[in-house]
Amino acid sequence: MAIDATKLVVFPKKAFGWAARDSSGVLSPFHFFRRETGEKDVAFKVLYCGICHSDLHIMQNEWGKTTYPLVPGHELTGVVTEVGSKVKKFKVGDKVGVGYMVDSCRSCENCADDIENYCTKYTQTFNGKSRDGTITYGGFSDSMVADEHFVIRIPDSLPLDGAGPLLCAGVTVYSPLRHFGLDKPGMNIRSCWSWWTWSYGCEIC
C-alpha cells in the first residue's frame, strides 16, 4: 500500500542532515543541497537510517579517505516523493531504501554481470563522488536522490524502521548464501559469529 506523499515535507534542492566536521566524529546540524531529480532518479523522504560500524570508521577517518563535512548513513529507508520522467520501477508514495552504493559505471564487465559492487568506478552513498564531481551525502539527512537502479523497494509487510540494516549487514550475509545455493527453505546455517555470540550466552534463533 502506497503512502500519501502529499503529507510529507519535500525539499527538491535544500536538504538538512547531521555531519561530522572532523575526525572527532561528533555530528552537528548541516544544511546542504541534493541534486535535482534527473530523468532516471528517484527522490525520497528519508524516514529512518541505521548505523553501521563502517559509518564510525569513516566519520573518524580511520581509513584515511574521509572528506569533511561528512553526512554518514547507508542503511536508509523512506517514501518516494518524486520520480524522473524515465523511471519505471517506482512511483510517488512507494516505500524504498538505499544501501552502500548509489551509482556505478554501468559499462564494465562487473556491471554487466550485476555485481556492481566490484565496479572500480562505483559511487558510495556518502563520502563518494558523483559523476559531476560533487561529494555524496548519506542517510543521516531528510532526503535522498538516487538512480532507480540502486533504489530498493521495501515490501509493505516490512516496517521501514526495521528494514535499514538489511541493506548492509543483511545483504552481506544473504548474498553469499544465495550465490552458493544455501538460501533454500529448510536449510540450517551456522556462522562463526553465531558461535561467538552463543559463547557469551546469547540466544541464537
The one-digit pLDDT tens for each residue of the chain (205 residues) are: 566 655 554 445 799 999 999 999 999 999 999 988 999 999 999 999 999 999 999 999 999 999 999 999 999 999 999 999 999 999 999 999 999 999 999 999 999 999 999 999 999 999 999 888 888 999 999 999 999 999 999 999 999 999 999 999 888 888 888 888 887 887 777 665 555 454 545 555 5
Contact of 140 with 17, CB cutoff 8 Å: yes
Contact of 55 with 74, CB cutoff 8 Å: yes
pTM tops 0.75, yes or no? yes
- Return the pLDDT at 186: 79
- Return the pLDDT at 201: 52
Burial of residue 115, with CB atoms counted within 10 A of its CB: 0-12 exposed, 13-18 middle, 19 or more buried = middle
- For 14, the domain range is 5-167
- Return the pLDDT at 80: 98
**Which has the closest alpha carbon to 73: 16, 111, 125, 29?**
125
Domain assignment present for 73: yes
Domain assignment present for 178: no
Burial profile 126-164: b = 16 or more Cβ within 10 angstroms, e = fewer: bbbeeeeeeebbbbbbbbbbbbbebbeebeeeeebeebb
Residues 6+ apart with CB under 8 A from 148: 40, 41, 42, 83, 84, 87, 88, 89, 90
Residues 6+ apart with CB under 8 A from 153: 89, 90, 94, 95, 96
Domain assignment present for 191: no
Domain assignment present for 180: no
CATH at residue 156 = 3.90.180.10
Domain assignment present for 145: yes
Domain assignment present for 185: no
- Return the pLDDT at 11: 45
**Total count of domains within the chain:** 1
- Return the pLDDT at 9: 45
- Return the pLDDT at 173: 82
Burial of residue 6, with CB atoms counted within 10 A of its CB: 0-12 exposed, 13-18 middle, 19 or more buried = exposed
Domain assignment present for 189: no
